[in-house]
Amino acid sequence: MDKKLLFVSQQRIDAERIKEIGPDRACAEWLLKNGAYVRWKNFTEPLTDYNALPTSGNYYIEAIEANDAGICDLGFPYLEGCKHIKDIKLESCRYINNRAMPYLSLVQDSLTNLEIIKCKSIDENGLRHLKVLKNLKQLKIKGLPAITDSVAHDELVKALPNYAPIKIKYTRFTGSNLTGSTVLALESVAN
C-alpha cells in the first residue's frame, strides 16, 4: 500500500467504530495510532501505548499531548463527542495545518488550556479559528514561523475580544533552544 494512502486511511473517521465504542475511545485510538498520548479523566499518567487501551468501562479523555505525532486535520473530527477534554498540546506536528484549527471548536465547552508549538503550517489564518474557544484559561503559541510578533498579537486579541480580563504575556526569546522564535500567551486572570 502506498505510504500516503496508508497515512490518509489512518486519519479517516470511522463512524461505525465511534458508534461501537464511543467517541472518547475512538478518538484515543486515532491519537495513539498516530503517535499522540491521551490522559483519561481522574488519571495522572498519560496513556502512551495503543495496546493498553481499556476494552470496557467509562473512560473520558481529559488531555491530549501530540509531540511530533502524525495526526492531521482529517482525523480532528474524532474530537466530536469528547466532552471532557481540558488540555491540548500540539508540538512539532508537521501535518497539522490551518484546516485542523476549526475542529477545536468541537471541544470548546471543555477546553481550558491550548498549546500550539512549532507546528509550522499554522499561520494567522489558522489562529482566527480560535475565537470560539471562550473557556480558555491559557493559550500558548510558540515557534510558528509564519506568525510575526504584531500579527500574532493582533490575531489573538481579535480572536478573544469578549474574554476579559486577559493578561497577555508577550516575550521574544533568543535562548539557544528558541532562537528567533516567538512565544505568545493569553492567560485568564481570576477576579
Give the pLDDT confidence of 91-121 residue by residue, as tens digits: 999 999 999 999 999 999 999 999 999 999 9
Higher pLDDT, 159 or 122: 122
Residue 154: inside a domain = yes
Residue 164: inside a domain = no
Residue 191: inside a domain = no
Which residues constitute the domain of residue 35?
A: 3-159
Place of cell 486572570: 189
Residue 147: inside a domain = yes
Residue 174: inside a domain = no
Residue 122: inside a domain = yes
Residue 173: inside a domain = no
- Work out the number of other CB atoms within 10 angstroms of the CB of residue 117: 18
Give the pLDDT confidence of 17-54 residue by residue, as tens digits: 999 999 999 999 999 999 999 999 999 999 999 999 99
Q: What angle do CA 19, 83, 43 make, to 5 degrees?
A: 100
Residue 108, domain CATH: 3.80.10.10
Termini Cα distance of the chain = 56
Domains: count for the chain: 1
Choose among 132, 99, 124, 125: nearest CA to 114: 132
Contact predicate 41/64, CB 8 Å: no
